[in-house]
Amino acid sequence: MAAKILVVDDDPNVQRLLSYALKQEGYEAVVAADGAEGLRLWGQEEPALILLDAMLPRLDGYQVATRIRAEEGTASHVPIIMLTAEAEVEQKIRGLRAGADDYLVKPFHPAELLARIKSLLARFAPRDTLVGRPPLGRVLAFYGAKGGVGTTTIAINVAIALKRELGRRVCLVDGNLQFGDHRVFMDLGLDRKSIVDVASAPSIDADLLRGVLVEHDSEVDLLLAPPSPETAELVTKDHVAQIVDVLRGMYDFVLVDVDKRLDDLNLGVFDAADQVYVVLTADLSCLKNVRLVLETLGHIGFDAERVKLVLNRSNAFTGINAKTAEGALKRPIDLQVLNEYRGAISALNSGAPVMLTKADSPLGRSIHDVARAIDKAVAGAPAAATAR
């Protein structure tokens, strides 16, 4: 389970900042506005760690720490980090004597606080408590077995759902280098930088990518395809491999929307991906393509467990239902997105993705369920190894 951290501070701004930072790292935050409430929540919530302001109404932080140490005895020990605006040595000594395990002077950098939290949790927290969020940095490839099955729509909206609904750090890469649609579907102009700006640089690193990535209104960062097809040839398989590798270290999830060619560049993306989501619809020509894709990946030694099938427009009447499709493919459909064709087309034509403007619609809820399933499955899986 995620570690629960009790924040005891009477400043609402500090409460919000600390709660946000903790939740971004995967912790559960519980907030108290004074010392007496903090002491009560310590007994009620049994937090894994306490962030305790020194100067509090009713009971100050020193009194709270002293009471906790007296009442918990030797059977348990909740780590306490004392927070104060006083930098004098005497105040630090007073906090440590009261029972604090560590001491931070305001203002402090969130990264330093999180590092100290992780260090203390590693020393004192039960082994079944997660020290922050699980290490993600996962790469997901979205591949359409046929044009028009909605791969780009699903990739864009799943990315937004992972960011806005689940709080993950997400980068979306338009891997359809010749005819990428992310600029159109997300209402972005041709003047934005693209993957070509990365490929033409002498070396690829995080600083370079930060200068090229485009932050969308959804707060998802985008690496766009070239604005014109003729420049796509400047981006090679090696470029893409380096880019994906660097992005993996910057984000929880990197989603790559690839085109339907099984060339070296796309197979390189598949190799780097923790999961490949093959998007299909329930029609004969698409099922034929999916079967061929699965056979081809099997022939080159690609791990079948890393391939997941996503049935789009699952409730559309085509004469072929999900069960029939599974029988034809001889494997289960892993995820389904329901059919709301008018809403999807309207969102594409307006450049406003469904998960940004109509997340509570039936289609939005369906995509949210897919994103949650992906987050749950991928976060608990080991990182991908090269399959080919």
The mean pLDDT of 284-301, rounded to a whole number, is 92
- Looking at residue 345, what is its pLDDT? 78
Whether pLDDT at 114 is above 50: yes
- Looking at residue 134, what is its pLDDT? 47
In this prediction, residue 99 has a pLDDT band, given cuts at 50, 70 and 90, of very high
| DSSP letter assigned to residue 2 | B
Amino acid at 277: Y
Tokens found for residue 155: 């990739």
Whether pLDDT at 384 is above 80: no
Least confident of 52-56, 70-74, 163-167, 274-278: 70-74
> Domain ends where: 124, 152, 177?
124
Find the length of the chain: 388
In this prediction, residue 350 has a pLDDT band, given cuts at 50, 70 and 90, of confident
Is residue 94 a part of any domain in this protein? yes
Neighbouring CB atoms inside 10 A of 308's CB total: 19
Is residue 294 a part of any domain in this protein? yes
Is residue 299 a part of any domain in this protein? yes
Q: Are 225 and 176 in contact (CB under 8 A)?
A: yes
- Report residue 188 CA to chain centroid gap: 23
Are both 228 and 87 inside the same structural domain?
no
- Looking at residue 380, what is its pLDDT? 54
- Looking at residue 388, what is its pLDDT? 37
Whether pLDDT at 49 is above 80: yes
Q: Are 72 and 16 in contact (CB under 8 A)?
A: no
Order of strands, sheet of 28-32, starting from the edge strand that comes earlier in the sequence: 28-32, 4-8, 49-53, 80-84, 102-105
> Domain ends where: 73, 101, 124?
124
- Looking at residue 386, what is its pLDDT? 37
- Tally the domains of the chain: 2
| DSSP letter assigned to residue 361 | S
Range of the domain at 48: 4-124
In this prediction, residue 69 has a pLDDT band, given cuts at 50, 70 and 90, of very high
Is residue 129 a part of any domain in this protein? no
Specify the CATH number for the domain of residue 306: 3.40.50.300
Are both 88 and 166 inside the same structural domain?
no
Specify the CATH number for the domain of residue 43: 3.40.50.2300
- Report residue 164 CA to chain centroid gap: 10
CA distance 302 to 274: 12
Are both 329 and 360 inside the same structural domain?
yes
First to last CA, the chain: 35
Tokens found for residue 3: 């570690």
The mean pLDDT of 310-332, rounded to a whole number, is 88
- Looking at residue 115, what is its pLDDT? 87
- Looking at residue 92, what is its pLDDT? 83
- Looking at residue 36, what is its pLDDT? 94
Are both 144 and 226 inside the same structural domain?
yes
Tokens found for residue 77: 């020990």
CA distance 117 to 80: 9
Cα angle 70, 72, 74; round to 5? 95
Are both 156 and 293 inside the same structural domain?
yes
Are both 261 and 192 inside the same structural domain?
yes
Are both 163 and 59 inside the same structural domain?
no
Are both 105 and 163 inside the same structural domain?
no
Q: What is the 3-state secondary structure (H, E, C) of 116-154?
A: HHHHHHHHHCCCCCECCCCCCCEEEEEEECCCCCCHHHH
- Looking at residue 360, what is its pLDDT? 87
CA distance 198 to 202: 9
The mean pLDDT of 10-29, rounded to a whole number, is 87
- In tens, the pLDDT along 125-147 reads 664 555 555 455 899 999 998 88
- Report residue 328 CA to chain centroid gap: 34
Is residue 386 a part of any domain in this protein? no
CA distance 27 to 30: 10
Is residue 177 a part of any domain in this protein? yes
The mean pLDDT of 293-304, rounded to a whole number, is 90
| DSSP letter assigned to residue 309 | E
Average pLDDT, the chain: 88
Q: Are 141 and 270 in contact (CB under 8 A)?
A: yes
Tokens found for residue 378: 């991928």
Least confident of 40-54, 208-222, 273-287, 337-351: 337-351
Is residue 133 a part of any domain in this protein? no
In this prediction, residue 249 has a pLDDT band, given cuts at 50, 70 and 90, of confident
Q: Are 279 and 142 in contact (CB under 8 A)?
A: yes
Are both 192 and 50 inside the same structural domain?
no
CA-closest candidate to residue 38, choices 2, 17, 66, 13:
66
Whether pLDDT at 385 is above 50: no
The H-assigned helical ranges of the chain are: 12-24, 35-45, 61-72, 89-98, 110-124, 151-164, 182-185, 195-199, 206-212, 237-248, 264-272, 284-299, 322-329, 341-350, 354-357, 362-379
Strands 221-223 and 253-258: unpaired
CA distance 29 to 9: 12
CA distance 379 to 203: 30
